[in-house]
């Protein structure tokens, strides 16, 4: 059976990380998202995939304030610091 990583709760349960990268011209800032804080604010059942992505309108670049963001989902390898 295929595993669905489509909600904040599923990403947390399966130990994934998600980063946002600003694509606004001249910015390029990137940051790891706090999935626990997002789940507390939006709910663990909040869907994080789709076209358009339902999470993107909720986010903004902390450096330039732009909303031109790209999300990257990565499983934890066990080697990085927590």
- CA angle (48 as vertex; 45, 53 as ends), nearest 5: 135
pLDDT(77) > 90: no
List, for residues 5-60, the tens digit of each pLDDT value. Answer: 899 999 999 999 999 999 999 999 999 999 999 999 999 999 998 889 999 999 99
Q: Which of 35, 54, 56 is nearest to 44 (CA)?
A: 35
User: pLDDT at position 36, please?
Assistant: 97
Q: Are 48 and 56 in contact (CB under 8 A)?
A: no
Return the SS3 of 16. strand
């Amino acid at each position: 059976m295929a595993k669905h990583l489509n909600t904040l709760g599923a990403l947390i349960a399966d130990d994934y990380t998600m980063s946002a990268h600003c694509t606004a011209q001249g910015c390029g800032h990137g940051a790891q998202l706090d999935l626990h804080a997002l789940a507390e604010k939006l709910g663990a059942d909040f869907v994080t995939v789709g076209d358009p992505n339902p999470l993107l309108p909720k986010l903004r670049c902390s450096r330039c304030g732009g909303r031109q963001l790209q999300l990257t989902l990565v499983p934890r390898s066990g080697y990085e610091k927590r």
